[in-house]
């Protein structure tokens, strides 16, 4: 089968019973029917079509391993693991449809779902899932990424470089997209022109390096006109020394502490403006290029924030 669903495997990790009841790590918190959940999308078909480095299909497993031994925050509640959608061939479109259906179903039972990718082709399936569940809602898209991923679909079909152009094609009049960390040298003028034509808001990597608050206003603006927020994080927004294991490592990048601030600011602003963020994904982790697991650990820090913020 080109696309299959694999139920969640048990989480394992270190236990420290000698330290008492508060020695809790994330692998201790897995439970059925929790309010928060993770879902894996093991795909690299879009990365291959986009001429990137192979390896993203192993991202969900590596992210789970990095999460498992992390200490649980104080008062942390359980979360659920909903398993993996696995693409074993080039059938990306079928995989995205399967992801969309799983997300739509999961959002009926969980107040926040964190999808573990996979390449950034994950984003089209993610958006279709949240749009199917919240049909009449205005959805604001916030992408932390060096790349705009606004390429038009070519002869090879959709890829990790096309998701936001595909999303716009669904409902052009409702397309509301903010990209944070844009690297000028990583986006052709054609993409920059398209972003301007389509009303895409952008904050550059240079601006965020100079001032971690550079995007705070843009974040508040998009959330204030939205009813639901979909947050997507491409790990290649980080510098190469914090995220070497990605499809396209960044020579400059935006440092992890600033990305953590952006995630926190999105979630805090969503709460202040009563605009839920029920769906987030973390993509482009490529474990074969991450021998020291640095990238997985960086990604896991962000996933931990998303799972336990606002609880």
DSSP string, 84-143: EEEE-SS-HHHHHHHHHHHHHHHTTT-SEEEEEESSTTHHHHHHHHHHHHSTTS-EEEEE
Classify 179 as helix, strand or coil: strand
Domain 3-308 sits in CATH at: 3.40.800.10
CA separation for the pair 266, 136 (Å, rounded): 22
Does the predicted model carry a pTM greater than 0.85? Answer: yes
Q: Is the CB of residue 151 less than 8 Å from the CB of residue 159?
A: yes
pLDDT score for 311: 57
pLDDT score for 2: 87
The CA-atom distances, in angstroms, between 173 and each of 26, 57, 129, 169 are 41, 33, 19, 9
Sheet hosting strand 3-6, strand order edge to edge: 3-6, 79-87, 36-42, 112-117, 279-283, 228-234, 139-144, 177-182, 201-204
Classify 279 as helix, strand or coil: strand
Q: Is the CB of residue 258 less than 8 Å from the CB of residue 208?
A: yes
List binding-site positions. 120, 145, 147, 149, 234, 236
pLDDT score for 209: 98
User: Sign of torsion, CA 223 182 192 207?
Assistant: positive
pLDDT score for 232: 98
pLDDT score for 89: 86
CA separation for the pair 202, 148 (Å, rounded): 9
Q: Which residues of the chain have pLDDT under 50?
A: none
pLDDT score for 1: 64
DSSP string, 37-89: EEEEEE--HHHHHTT--S-GGGHHHHHHHHHHTSBPPTTPPPEEEEEEEEE-S
Exposed/middle/buried for 19, CB within 10 Å: 0-12, 13-18, 19+? exposed
Query: Could you state, in order of their start, the residue ranges of all structural domains in the chain?
Result: 3-308
CA-nearest of 46, 26, 67, 85 to 163 is 46
List binding-site positions for Mn(2+). 120, 145, 147, 149, 234, 236
pLDDT score for 129: 98
pLDDT score for 16: 96
pLDDT in tens, 94-149: 999 999 999 999 999 999 999 999 999 999 999 999 999 999 999 999 999 999 99
CA separation for the pair 179, 208 (Å, rounded): 12
């Amino acid at each position: 089968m080109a696309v299959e669903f694999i139920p969640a495997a048990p989480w394992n990790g270190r236990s420290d019973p000698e330290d008492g009841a508060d020695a809790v790590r994330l692998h201790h918190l897995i439970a059925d029917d929790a309010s928060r959940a993770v879902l894996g999308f093991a795909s690299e078909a879009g990365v291959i079509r986009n001429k990137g480095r192979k390896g993203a299909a192993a991202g969900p497993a590596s992210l789970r391993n990095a999460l498992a031994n992390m200490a649980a925050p104080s008062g942390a509640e359980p979360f659920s693991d909903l398993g993996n959608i696995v693409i074993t061939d080039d059938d990306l479109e079928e995989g995205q449809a399967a992801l969309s259906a799983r997300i739509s179903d999961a959002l009926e039972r969980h107040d926040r779902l964190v999808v573990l990718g996979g390449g950034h082709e994950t984003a089209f399936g993610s958006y279709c899932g949240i749009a199917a569940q919240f049909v009449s809602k205005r959805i604001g898209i916030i992408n932390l990424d060096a790349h705009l991923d606004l390429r038009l679909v070519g002869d090879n079909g959709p890829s990790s470089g096309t998701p936001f152009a595909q999303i716009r094609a669904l409902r052009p009049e409702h397309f509301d997209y903010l990209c944070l960390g844009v690297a000028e040298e990583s986006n052709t003028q054609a993409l920059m022109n398209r972003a301007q034509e389509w009303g895409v808001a952008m904050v550059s990597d240079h601006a965020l390096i100079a001032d971690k608050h550079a995007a705070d206003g843009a974040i508040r603006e998009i959330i204030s006109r939205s009813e639901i927020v979909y947050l997507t994080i491409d790990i290649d927004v980080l510098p190469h020394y914090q995220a070497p294991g990605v499809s396209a490592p960044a020579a400059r990048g935006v440092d992890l502490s600033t990305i953590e601030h952006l995630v926190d600011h999105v979630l805090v602003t969503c709460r202040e403006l009563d605009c839920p963020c029920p769906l987030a994904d973390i993509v482009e982790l490529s474990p074969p290029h991450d021998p020291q697991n640095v990238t997985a650990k960086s990604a896991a820090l962000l996933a931990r924030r998303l799972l336990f913020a606002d609880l």
